[in-house]
Structure 1
Amino acid sequence: MELIKAIHVGQCTGKRKLSPLISGPTQPGNDIDIYLAPLIEDLKHMWETGVEVYDEYKKESFILRAMLFGTINDFPAYGNLSGYSVKGKCACPVCEDHTNWIRLEHCQKNVFLGHRRFLNTKHHYRKWKKAFNGESEEDRAPSPLTGDQLYEKVKLLSSKFGKPFSGELVTGGWKKKSIFFELPYWKSLYVRHFLDVMHIEKNVFDSVVGTLLNIPGKSKDGINARLDMQSMGLRNELRPVKKDGKRTFLPPAAHTLSRKEKKIFCKFLHNVKVPEGYSSNIKSLVSMKDLKLKGLKSHDGHVLMGNFLPIAIRSILPENVRWTITKLCFFFKAISSKVIDPEKLPTLQNEIVVTLCELEMYFPPLFLT
């Protein structure tokens, strides 16, 4: 994982510039605070004292002050910067100990279900039992901690740098007080760390396409996934069936594509032509021989997810599954737009919760890692 290759903080005077470099192929993990210490000192100076800047238009000098609005990072980097352990059963820094997780016995993965608790209290999905875990949902969504509440939880935590001993490993919860709390305004910010959408979008795209095309290593469906569904009592009609005592047959699920449908899907993407500079040559990413996609970069996944995937699946999947994937694509396209209407954000929030519930209904639990 590439956490931070270089950090550049320039000031308008052009006289001071901070450029700490992290060398080597491995990211520093919890030790990122050591590299950030000089940056924090400059940010404190910019907030408390400021720098004198000359305004050429008004022909006068003024004191320029600046603040750090937040960080933008992928989810593993979120854990290093915020001090929360984003691995294991309580990987959600909002839900914390109330994270709804299940350990899959055969796939050996933690999956995160229970999205119905984020629906409004009268939504009909809350009463559906068979489509989910066999029970109705009465829980409410946990409330995010304010900056002051979070600071009270971490203010007494000490940071231990370097490689920890086995007895010092933190497997869940808050593991340190982030160095960003040295900024006097940090705990007052409503949001402190922002997730990079394109990283998440690429992972989701790989899971969706890998499952639809049954790409080895990327598919979220398989014998182990079906055995886990069987042990959880979900969709018993999809449990593996042994034929002749040797071969194992997997009944087709709602997301299963026939070879003909896979060819239709891949042929469409293979024939897509885009303007120069818009994305990679999509034709080169599609293998018609193996019926799979290969060599995708993050931006390729972004382009395919937001524009071409809804078109590619419009004639090859059941309507309910097709519409669920399409809504997922529309969500990523909406939040990746250059301009977002703030009044539409609550609607997007409600729609993505419903979409996640439907993904939980149609795809194996392994899909929601």
Structure 2
Amino acid sequence: MSKLRTPFRYDFVGSFLRPERLKEARAARARGEISDQALEKVEEECIADLVRKQKELGYHGITDGEFRRSYWHLDFMWGLQGLEHIELDHGYFFHGEETTHGSCRVRGKISGEDHPFVRCFRFLKQFEDENTVARQTIPAPAQTLAELFRADNAEETARIYPDTEELIQDLAAAYRRVILDLYGAGCRNIQFDDCTWGMIVDDVYWKARVGNGSTQDEEASRYLRINNLSLRDLPEDLTVNTHICRGNYHSAYASSGPYDRVAPYVFAGENVHAFYLEFDDERSGSFDCLSRIPEGKKVVLGLVTTKRPQLEDKEILKKRIHDASRFVPLERLCLSPQCGFASCEIGNKLTEEEQWNKLRLVKEVAEEVWGK
């Protein structure tokens, strides 16, 4: 078993553009033209090819690119006991684009046994070697909690769970069960993907939330609490990091706002080992918020955007890394894209070659800043 621990000096968030062959196979399965087994064979072949490319480029973390998922978050939620796949009247409203309409709804008490992601991880695990470690990305517990109160979902959530505290405890316990099952399958590196903090810092979002009677401090405290409840009593050799961004769908974004408002909660208080943070444009604010990062924890600076194919200027990236080192020492900083390349299977607006060019740039800059 690999003893490598994320994050790495040059790193990535997790999702990759789906090959056309995979997209075609998924569409054919949806039409009933091929079997589940035929689709799985294509998925496994595409994942094996993706891992080979990750290794050839010299990256130490490997993922399955989220190739078995439609969404970065909902597929995981649908795998929990007590939650079901539904379609809403509307998707998420991003800037310039509405997403597809998938969501999840409570249909019974929530638990985490027999999650399909565990079986999927076992397939990825076989590709580990002395230079690489398999990583599992899942939506943060706070993200699932937020989804259960999205639009009309709230009414059904309240019917099954009139006591919100019971919901929080059950959901946290379900996550711990999945995490421990992943650990049993050999997983030692897990990543929480979390857009809830981006919602809190966005003023437009909060204007829409005023009628719910919730304050930003109350919401932040609730999200921090459920994330940390999910992380209680885990094995010491399990690394759990978190990735925080403001939405990523077909190169569109969902929210804007600096981290300052939530830094006293998530940076100062979340029991993770490292923070993968979106900093690819002005929507994220300055690096001042990094002063809230506790001693010993690492920050992966997401300075390279996955939303556009144009390559960033190396010297500007280096300058920004050194600017950030005023708040977190250089030895605790790393570099990555700000998010995945395909948070949903539709993917961002760039080609596969442009995707790999972005990762080549990340590696080259990291080696020039920290050495090979």
Q: Same fold (TM over 0.5)?
A: no
- TM-score norm. by structure 1 comes to 0.28
Which structure is larger by alpha-carbon Rg, 1 or 2?
1
Which structure has the higher relative contact order (CA within 8 Å, separation 6+)?
2
- TM-score norm. by structure 2 comes to 0.27
